[in-house]
Amino acid sequence: MAKEHDDTEDIVDASEELYERMSITVDRGQEPFRLDKFLTARIENASRNKIQQAIEAGRILVNNKIVQSNYKIRPSDHIIIYSDREKPGEEIIPEKIPLNIVYEDDDVMIINKPPGLVVHPASGNYTGTLINGVAYYLQQKNSAINEETLPRFGLVHRIDKNTSGLMVLAKTGKAVTSLAKQFFDHTVKRQYIALVWGDMIDEAGSLEAHIGRHQRFRKLFEAYPDGEYGKEAITHYKVLERFGYVTLVQCVLETGRTHQIRVHMKHLGHPLFNDDTYGGDKIVKGTVFSKYKQFVENCFEICPRHALHAKTIGFVHPTTRKEMLFESELPDDMKKLIDKWRNYVSTHKI
């Protein structure tokens, strides 16, 4: 299958699609043929039973719609197949980890993730992740579930370890397909709040610059404005409040690339405050006199991570088809950080 996402790094992805995906466009001369038979013949090592199960679970779409196994394909039909599992990785071990569940029903779960919590087991972080906690939570709700029968709940996007805020998880196969498609189509509403270095010139704007791995430092990502490398990435931003040496901004993601906001803001010359990966963990703007330096260091202590929060997430519910929108408050560390800068501006001429 063609893969939509490179998942080899040990840093947690921002919001990219995690499910393998392949698409087929039916030839113009194709005779009417049952979908399940067509795919069994077309996909290597695919059994008809597995194909039928995937169709029933809603993981195979024809022209963006769920159909039945006996659907007769037509010339130029567009077929999309989603994988039934996350990409291969370590076995997920249930662990008792506190979860802030904002909303839950039979199809989806909305979690407000605290900063410092890795989302998914990966190299260097096989335990103590949000997904380990979700596995434990599901086991407690259903005692019949064990490590072998634990459902592959749908992690359809991620946010970085040190980013706080809202995430949506799918609890059924059909929900996985629906949400994965919405992320792929860029219809999921995602609004972030960030404190960035510098006094931004424009009140609002959009940044379109491909994002890909740094050519030399493979754990870092870089903006490529000419589109010569990486994947398309679009961020819309708006100034919320100015503090002279730093600016509070709202960022709306149109795409969801790894470290997208962090990389785009750095590319604009405004790295996130205290972002130790992209140069925001030192004094970027302002003087270096002792009192100001001490003030900034105190700010770093108040918010010992990059100042980024996933405030809003919105999507169409997989079953009811109703618009769902969730918002979260800024966490205490960012609230205190913003208040400290606000007080500084009110007592100093900048």
Indicate which residues carry an active-site annotation: 160
Contact present, 110 and 157 (Cβ < 8 Å): no
Torsions phi, psi for 128 (to 5 deg):
75, 20
Task: Report which of 175, 158, 143 is spatially closest to residue 58, judged by C-alpha positions.
Answer: 175
CA dihedral of 253, 256, 262, 266, whole degrees rounded to 10: -80
Instruction: Decide if 119 contacts 113 (C-beta within 8 A).
Output: yes
Bridging pattern class, strands 308-316 and 164-170: parallel
Pairwise CA distance, residues 112 & 99, whole Å: 8
Ranges of beta strands (E only) in the chain are 21-25, 33-34, 60-62, 65-66, 72-73, 78-82, 101-104, 108-113, 154-155, 164-170, 189-197, 204-208, 210-213, 221-224, 234-242, 246-253, 308-316, 323-327
Paired tokens of 109: 């779960």
- Cα separation, 218 vs 10, whole angstroms: 11
The tokens describing 38, both together, are 């067509």
User: How many Å apart are CA 283 and CA 299, to the nearest integer?
Assistant: 11
**CB burial of residue 124 (10 Å; 0-12, 13-18, 19+):** exposed
Q: For residue 344, what are its two tokens?
A: 């500084």
Residues in contact with 165: Cβ distance below 8 Å, sequence separation at least 6, in sequence order: 112, 113, 159, 192, 309, 310, 311, 328
DSSP string, 9-52: SSSPPSS---S-EEEEE--TTPPPEEHHHHHHHHSTT--HHHHH
